[in-house]
């Protein structure tokens, strides 16, 4: 095989394969090769096949950043999420990614680990890459991150929360309403000693505060709260119930800040031979896919994450392509799903 027959090998000593190399191998002008990759309907099938074969032979990857500079569009959307491990956000991210992909956009994902400082560093790096839009789980409070986002002019969708002052667009729900609704759910079923098992998370904190306030307003004893800090695991849920039973032996209902913590509480309750829900009702948050198939099936708060992801994607696509967005703030519903643990 000669160097002419093996374009990949011949280019290694002289730099990356370029569109000009692809065009030369296909026997077309560079502008024609560009049309094949960006607007294939403008060229004939025969030319398209020649160029695509040249792309395959050379291993050429289009420089989307360079294309974005020319067209003012990168076809890249960046998303920042706290975590993807056993996460309530996965349904949202999958829907976001699917909707973007169908429209010809790619998703770049960053994980903040529930750290505001890490989120700001991620946003600084993302803004420097000039994506066509940015997706956030949660709202961006005052600080350098918000200032940079506003100054960048990049379309932003904040999700999974509500605020009267969104940066740009917002698709979310009220964590305060959820806290109050779960408290009413327990109290309507005769529960008297309510408790919380919660991670160190600002949104979970607001659900917890509303839950506790609703219980006090109903004239019941103060809510006992067990914090697991940054730990969000089955083990931390199990340990939390042990601590809770020491502090409040008569507890008869627990609202957990995540399904994973709730499953830990259920596991520990069964290990201690407590009847669930007879002696202890347990509610999670998020309705991750597998909790309905466990034994006992977990009661939880369901968020339509797929709808949030789809709406956010459509808003960002419309902005990137110059179309108006009529409703810049959308509040989505939540529901309490009663299963075996309540």
Q: What is the pTM of this model?
A: 0.79
- Say which range, 7-11, 190-194, 274-278, 322-326, has the weakest mean pLDDT: 7-11
Q: What percent of the chain has pLDDT over 70?
A: 92
The larger pLDDT score, comparing residue 1 to residue 273, is at 273
Helices (H), the chain: 7-11, 19-26, 30-38, 45-58, 64-71, 90-102, 116-128, 144-152, 175-188, 202-217, 234-247, 259-271, 305-320
Asked if domains 75-172+305-332 and 175-303 share a fold, the reply is yes
Q: Give the pair of three-digit tokens for residue 323.
A: 């179309």
Instruction: Report pLDDT digits (tens) over 222-240.
Output: 999 999 987 778 999 999 9
pLDDT of 1? 36
Which pLDDT tens digit goes with each residue over 82-140?
887 767 899 999 999 999 999 999 999 998 888 888 888 888 888 888 899 999 998 88
Angle subtended by helix axes 19-26 and 45-58, to nearest 10: 120
Tokens representing residue 141 in the block: 């409070």
Per-domain residue ranges for the chain? 7-62, 75-172+305-332, 175-303
How many Å apart are CA 65 and CA 207, to the nearest integer? 41
DSSP string for 141-192: -SSHHHHHHHHH---EEEESS--SS-SSEEEE--HHHHHHHHHHHHHHTT--
Across the chain, what does the average pLDDT equal?
89
**In this model, does residue 161 exceed pLDDT 80?**
yes
Check residue 10 and give its pLDDT.
37
Q: Which residue has the tokens 């002696």?
A: 279
Beta bridge partners of 81: 111
Question: In CATH terms, is domain 175-303 a member of 3.10.129.10?
Answer: no
Following CA atoms 64, 67, 69, 75 in sequence, which dihedral angle do they give, to the nearest 10 degrees? -50
SS (H, E, C) 221-259: CCCEEEECCCCCCHHHHHHHHHHHHHHCCCCCEEEECCH
Q: Are 298 and 341 in contact (CB under 8 A)?
A: yes
Say whether pLDDT at 40 is over 90. Answer: no
Please answer whether residues 335 and 149 qualify as being in contact, where contact means their C-beta atoms are separated by less than 8 angstroms.
no
- Give me the architecture of the 7-62 domain, per CATH: Orthogonal Bundle (1.10)
pLDDT for the residue 304: 95
8-28 pLDDT tens trace = 443 333 456 788 989 999 999
- Domain formed by 75-172+305-332, architecture: 3-Layer(aba) Sandwich (3.40)
pLDDT, tens only, 56-73:
888 776 655 555 444 557
Cβ(312)–Cβ(159) below 8 Å? yes
Specify the pLDDT at position 146: 86
**DSSP character at residue 109:** E
Could you tell me how far CA 304 lies from the centroid of its own chain? 12
């Amino acid at each position: 095989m000669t160097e002419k027959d093996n374009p990949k090998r011949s280019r290694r000593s002289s730099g990356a394969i370029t569109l000009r190399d692809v065009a030369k191998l296909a026997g077309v002008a560079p502008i024609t090769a560009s049309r094949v990759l960006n607007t294939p309907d403008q060229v004939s099938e025969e030319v398209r096949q020649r160029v695509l074969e040249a792309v395959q032979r050379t291993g050429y990857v289009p420089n989307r950043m360079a294309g974005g500079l020319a067209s003012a569009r990168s076809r890249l959307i960046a998303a920042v999420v706290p975590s993807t491990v056993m996460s309530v956000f996965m349904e949202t991210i999958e829907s976001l990614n699917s909707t973007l992909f169908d429209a010809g956009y790619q998703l770049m994902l960053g994980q903040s680990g529930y750290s505001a400082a890490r989120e700001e560093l991620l946003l600084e790096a993302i803004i420097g890459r000039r994506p066509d839009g940015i997706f956030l789980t949660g709202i961006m409070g005052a600080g350098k991150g918000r200032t940079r986002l506003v100054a960048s002019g990049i379309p932003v969708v904040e999700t999974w929360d509500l605020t009267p002052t969104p940066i740009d667009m917002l698709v979310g729900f009220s964590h305060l309403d959820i806290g109050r609704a779960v408290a009413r759910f327990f109290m309507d079923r005769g529960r008297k000693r309510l408790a919380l098992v919660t991670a160190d998370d600002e949104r979970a904190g607001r659900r917890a505060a509303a839950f506790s306030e609703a219980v006090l307003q109903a004239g019941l004893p103060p809510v006992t709260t067990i914090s697991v800090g940054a730990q969000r695991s089955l083990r931390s849920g199990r340990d939390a119930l042990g601590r809770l039973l020491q502090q409040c032996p008569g507890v008869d209902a627990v609202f957990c800040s995540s399904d994973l913590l709730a499953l830990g509480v259920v596991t520990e309750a069964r290990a201690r031979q407590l009847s669930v829900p007879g002696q202890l009702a347990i509610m999670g948050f998020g309705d991750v896919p597998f909790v309905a198939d466990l034994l006992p099936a977990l009661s939880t708060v369901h968020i339509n994450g797929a709808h949030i992801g789809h709406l956010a994607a459509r808003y960002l696509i419309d902005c990137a392509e110059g179309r108006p967005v009529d409703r810049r703030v959308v509040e989505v519903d939540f529901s309490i799903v009663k299963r075996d643990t309540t």
